[in-house]
Each structure stands twice: as structure tokens, then as C-alpha cells.
């Protein structure tokens, strides 16, 4: 029989269904054909101290272990709302063992206070401190288990871990558990991936779906989170997680969180003031950070461009503003690679904040004819006027009365836009000035023939427009 016939017959076979089993007092949900493998994984936990801690936590909170055929690129996951741990079968037994320790550490963190603490309306600086520290804790716990297995002659998990997370493994060799913990922060690939998955993508989704945080933001401290972040592993934990090194983010992350803040303000909510205070990664002479900066700028632009193409007509100005913000952030990053600043691009980011704020307000009821009642820079005003008249349609003309204007101006003040302009204008914008061409230089040598100068100047201007 042919390959297609074989595939057809295979598809007709009844699929094996996962069942619930009990192994070492742990509920394990898997197919019968995978039972022996899962039994070996769970029993291997009993052979080392950290593995026994893992099983004890799962028994204590009656957390079942699920084996999944495919979870994409994820090796595993702890679901606090469902109180379960899932492992990705496709990663292999050695990786699954280390991953089980990692995910069970998240289970411990949740019950050690993380779950309750994160129910507050935390600001970005605090949220970032928690997710980075809890990941560093879970990974260092996992590598600790891998080393315990290696001491018994079982090198598989340690090799699988060290091949992928070289900075954590290197940190362990230098400082033990503390070095492994801090090694998580040394991995530009991982920190950038978490910024994209935990910061950029959720912020864009929330911004484009009008999902905002209401009420006052809560700012946490390292001493408050130390207990559920494994802070006892690192000497001077509070000082370390408060350092610029531990908090640094990419410009694209700050830019996207900044426009999310605009969405907050446009609906009358408070802005998260910690976003603009976060230290930025220095890209000059840092090849890895440059590479991941480029990767997530490109990825974010492609995602937004794709969404923009399918967005309703009235939503397109929002997506276009985000795309312009991304382009400006890219210019800032490119300048930083050379140890320079691009103040024009920085100002473009601030202009887009003002544009996006007003575009959001237009969408929720401000008549575009009322734009002239606000003190907007001409470059922002002109773009808004053009976009609002061409992309928005109105069956009702909204009355922009004094109360509405005062309300919008009050919310606009949360953006601190004027302060930003004053700060940016302290230095002249010379970074983007076009280089003088040979033709332009030659004009300086013929001051006595103004008619020739005018003619050449018009030629240059005409060709630039092309």
C-alpha cells in the first residue's frame, strides 16, 4: 500500500486517551503507552534531595502532573488557576526531569506568597522584578537538581540543561547556587524573550483591546518579595535586584509600554510612572543585545503590520501610530549601537504618544473638529486632522464643551508631554542632519553668482523630493 493509504488507515485508528494514574502519591495524567516513562521520571525525583522537595510540594497541594504531546516551544508550564503542572513530551526525558523541578518551584512560589502579592495593581518595575527573580529562582533550583543527579552518575539532565543555558551553568561553576541565580540575568537571549512575551505582546494586546489597569499603582520592594523569590540564595538580594543591571530593558520594550501608558491616560486612568525610569540596555559593543534588539523590533513590527491590515478602518490610526513608534525606537537603538543618541527619534516617540492619546479620544467621542481647542504641535495636529477626517465617520456631531475639554486636558497632563519636550530640546538635534554633498560644498565657492546658486539649490531640492 502507498504512503497515503497508510496514513489514512492510521488516522482511522482510535486515538489513545490519557488516563489518570497514581505514582509515588502523585496524580499523573498520561497515555498508557507513556506510563513507564512517567514512572521513571517521578521515581528519579526520589533519588535526590531537591527532587524529593519537588514531590513533597506536589503532594502537599495535590497538584497533578500532565504529559502533553506538544506544547510548542514550551518545555512545561505551571497553571496556578488550575493547580496543575504540564510537561512537553517532545522535549525528551532528561529535559522533562529538570523542567518538573522548575515548574514545581513556581508552585512553591505561588503558595509562598507570590499569588497573593501579584493580585495587587503592581507597577511595571515591581512586576518585572518579580517575574525575573522567580524565573531565576526556578532555573537555579532546576540546575541544582541536575547537579545532584550528576553526582549519582546520571549526567543526562545536567548536560541537557547546560547546553541550552550556558550562563546559568557558568555561574554555578563560579558561585554555586548564587551564581546560577544571577546567571539567568546574564543570558541576553532569555531576558529579551521574556521582555517580548511578558511585556511587549501583552501591552500591545491590552492597548488594542482597551484593557487597562484602573486605580493607583502599587510599588513593591525587594524585601517584600524576597521570601517567594528564593532571595535567600543570593547574598545582598535586595541590592542585586534593585541594580540597573538586573532591571535593564530594551528600548522597544520601553516604547511599547509607553504607548500602553497613553491608552491608560486616554481613558482617564493613571499612568505607570516607573516605565520611563527603567534603565535601558547599552547596545554599543554588545553583539548579543544588538541581535535580540533587532529580532524583537522586527518581530513586533511584523505582528502589528499584520494586525493593521485586518483592523477595522477606524482602528487603523492606532496601529499606524504603534508602527511609527516602533520605527522611532529602532532609530534610537541603531544610534545606541554606535554610542550615539538620536534625539529626533526620541522626540518622534513622544509625538506619537500625543497623537495616540488624541486618536483614542477621537475614537471614544471627540469630534475631530475640536482638535484646534488643544495646544498640539503642528506636526501632530496636521496628522490627526488628516487621519480623523479620512478614517473616521460621524453620524452625530459631538459637542466639545468646556467640561469635555478640561477633562481631556487633565488626562493629557498625565503624559508629561511638555516636560519631555523641554528635556529633549536641551541638546541641538544634529544627529540626523543630512551630510553636505560635494555639490552643496561647491556652492560656497561661487558667492558672486547668486543666480547660479539659486539654480543649483532648486535642482538639489527637486531631486530630494524624488
Q: And the C-alpha cell for 169?
A: 551553568
Q: And the C-alpha cell for 285?
A: 559593543
pLDDT tens-place values along the chain, 466 residues long:
566 666 666 666 677 889 999 999 999 999 999 999 999 999 999 999 999 999 999 999 999 999 998 888 889 999 999 999 999 999 999 999 999 999 999 999 999 999 999 999 999 999 999 999 999 999 999 999 999 999 999 999 999 999 999 999 999 999 999 999 999 999 999 999 999 999 999 999 999 998 999 899 999 999 999 999 999 999 999 999 999 999 999 999 999 999 999 999 988 899 999 999 999 999 999 999 999 999 999 999 999 999 998 888 878 889 999 999 999 999 999 999 999 999 999 999 999 999 998 888 877 666 666 677 777 888 888 888 787 766 555 444 445 567 777 888 888 887 765 444 443 443 333 333 344 444 444 444 444 444 444 544 444 444 444 3
Q: And the C-alpha cell for 405?
A: 475639554
Burial 111-122 (b: 16+ CB within 10 A, else e): eeebeebbeeeb
Other beta carbons within 10 angstroms of residue 97's beta carbon come to 28
Helix (H) or strand (E) holding 94: helix 93-109
- Classify residue 270 as exposed, middle or buried by CB count within 10 Å of its CB (0-12, 13-18, 19+): middle
Q: Is the separation of the CB atoms in 75 and 58 below 8 Å?
A: no
CA distance 247 to 319: 28
Q: Is the separation of the CB atoms in 107 and 61 below 8 Å?
A: yes
Pinpoint the alpha helices (H) of 311-449. Answer: 316-337, 343-363, 378-391, 402-412, 417-424, 438-443
CA distance 146 to 413: 53
Domains and CATH numbers, the chain: 12-119 (3.30.2010), 120-424 (no CATH), 434-466 (no CATH)
CA distance 459 to 388: 35
Which of 393, 372, 392 has the alpha carbon at shortest distance from 382?
A: 372
Beta partners for residue 248, in sequence order: none
DSSP string, 1-17: --HHHHHHHHHHSPPPP
Q: Is the separation of the CB atoms in 218 and 121 below 8 Å?
A: yes
Q: And the C-alpha cell for 420?
A: 519631555
CA distance 112 to 45: 22
Amino acid at each position: 500500500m502507498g504512503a497515503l493509504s497508510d496514513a489514512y488507515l492510521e488516522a482511522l485508528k482510535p486515538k489513545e486517551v490519557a488516563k489518570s494514574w497514581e505514582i509515588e502519591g502523585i496524580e499523573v495524567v498520561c497515555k498508557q503507552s507513556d506510563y513507564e516513562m512517567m514512572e521513571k521520571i517521578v521515581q528519579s525525583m526520589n533519588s535526590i534531595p531537591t527532587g524529593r522537595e519537588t514531590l513533597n510540594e506536589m503532594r502537599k497541594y495535590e497538584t497533578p502532573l500532565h504529559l502533553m504531546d506538544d506544547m510548542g516551544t514550551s518545555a512545561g508550564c505551571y497553571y496556578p488557576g488550575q493547580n496543575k503542572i504540564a510537561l512537553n513530551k517532545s522535549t525528551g526525558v532528561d529535559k522533562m526531569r529538570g523542567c518538573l523541578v522548575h515548574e514545581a518551584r513556581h508552585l512553591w512560589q505561588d503558595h509562598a506568597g507570590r499569588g497573593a502579592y501579584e493580585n495587587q495593581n503592581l507597577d511595571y518595575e515591581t512586576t518585572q522584578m518579580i517575574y525575573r527573580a522567580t524565573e531565576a529562582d526556578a532555573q537555579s533550583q532546576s540546575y541544582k537538581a541536575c547537579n545532584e543527579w550528576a553526582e549519582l552518575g546520571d549526567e543526562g539532565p545536567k548536560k541537557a540543561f547546560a547546553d541550552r543555558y550556558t550562563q546559568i551553568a557558568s555561574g554555578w561553576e563560579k558561585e554555586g547556587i548564587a551564581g546560577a541565580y544571577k546567571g539567568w540575568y546574564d543570558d541576553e537571549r532569555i531576558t529579551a524573550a521574556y521582555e517580548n512575551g511578558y511585556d511587549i505582546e501583552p501591552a500591545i494586546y491590552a492597548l488594542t483591546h482597551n484593557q487597562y489597569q484602573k486605580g493607583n499603582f502599587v510599588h513593591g520592594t525587594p524585601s517584600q518579595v524576597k521570601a517567594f523569590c528564593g532571595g535567600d540564595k543570593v547574598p545582598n538580594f535586595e541590592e542585586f535586584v534593585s541594580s540597573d543591571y538586573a532591571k535593564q530593558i530594551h528600548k522597544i520594550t520601553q516604547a511599547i509600554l509607553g504607548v500602553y501608558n497613553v491608552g491608560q491616560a486616554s481613558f482617564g486612568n493613571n499612568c505607570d510612572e516607573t516605565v520611563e525610569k527603567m534603565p535601558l540596555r547599552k547596545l554599543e559593543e554588545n553583539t548579543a543585545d544588538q541581535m535580540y534588539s533587532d529580532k524583537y523590533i522586527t518581530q513586533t513590527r511584523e505582528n502589528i503590520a499584520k494586525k493593521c491590515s485586518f483592523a477595522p478602518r477606524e482602528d487603523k490610526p492606532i496601529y499606524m501610530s504603534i508602527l511609527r513608534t516602533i520605527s522611532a525606537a529602532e532609530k534610537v537603538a541603531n544610534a545606541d549601537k554606535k554610542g550615539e543618541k538620536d534625539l529626533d527619534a526620541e522626540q518622534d516617540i513622544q509625538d506619537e504618544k500625543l497623537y495616540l492619546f488624541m486618536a483614542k479620544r477621537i475614537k471614544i467621542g471627540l469630534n475631530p473638529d475640536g482638535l484646534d481647542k488643544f495646544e498640539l504641535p503642528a506636526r501632530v495636529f496636521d496628522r490627526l486632522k488628516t487621519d480623523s477626517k479620512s478614517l473616521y465617520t460621524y453620524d452625530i456631531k459631538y459637542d466639545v464643551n468646556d467640561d469635555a475639554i478640561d477633562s481631556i486636558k487633565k488626562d493629557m497632563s498625565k503624559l508629561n508631554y511638555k516636560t519631555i519636550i523641554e528635556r529633549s530640546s536641551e541638546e541641538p538635534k544634529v544627529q540626523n542632519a543630512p551630510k553636505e554633498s560635494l555639490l552643496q560644498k561647491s556652492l560656497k565657492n561661487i558667492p558672486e553668482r547668486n543666480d547660479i546658486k539659486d539654480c543649483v539649490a532648486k535642482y538639489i531640492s527637486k531631486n530630494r523630493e524624488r
